[in-house]
Amino acid sequence: MNFLIREDFENNINSSILEQIIGTDVSKLDTAEKSALAQISSKLSGRFDIQQESSMSGDARNSNLIRWAVAISVYAIYNTIPDQDIPERVRDNYTDSIKEIANIAAGKEGSDLLRITSSDGKSKTKFRWGSNTKRTHNPFD
């Protein structure tokens, strides 16, 4: 794991349950983390520098990105067992994270992630701002 650390998972999944699911195969955590970050990046990379955010470590990491990545990773890890054994809170955390990411991607919610900037330091986005010319209701114009 590069971005997430083992302690990040402790709030979402008991360590003994995690050990039961993944066994000694730590690569399952790596695969789940890569999958989660790819899913987040595919939604948010148009406006935010997810590559730079995911390269940070320690306290410099974005807490929302950690929360989303852990929720999606835990859900991916639980997908290796039968559906009836997946706790409802794991599904809810996954669904809430995906909805929040989608809302941020759509511009309905704000985020403290690093924005993509151009070489002059201004934010680069794919949004286009503008409007039509102002209407006038004067029939003699």
From first to last of its 141 residues, the chain has per-residue pLDDT tens of 689 988 888 888 888 888 888 888 888 889 999 999 999 999 998 888 899 999 998 889 999 999 999 999 999 998 888 878 888 999 999 999 999 999 998 888 888 888 887 777 676 665 556 677 777 787 776
C-beta contacts of 57-60 below 8 A and 24+ residues apart: 57/3
Any domain includes 59: yes
Report the domain count for the chain. Answer: 1
**Partners of residue 117 on adjacent β-strands:** 123
Answer yes or no: is 121 within a domain: no
Q: Flag whether 135 is in a domain.
A: no
The verdict on residue 23 lying in a domain is yes
User: What is the domain range of residue 17?
Assistant: 6-105
Give the CA count within 13 Å in the CB-facing half-sphere of 54.
Answer: 20
126 falls within a domain: no
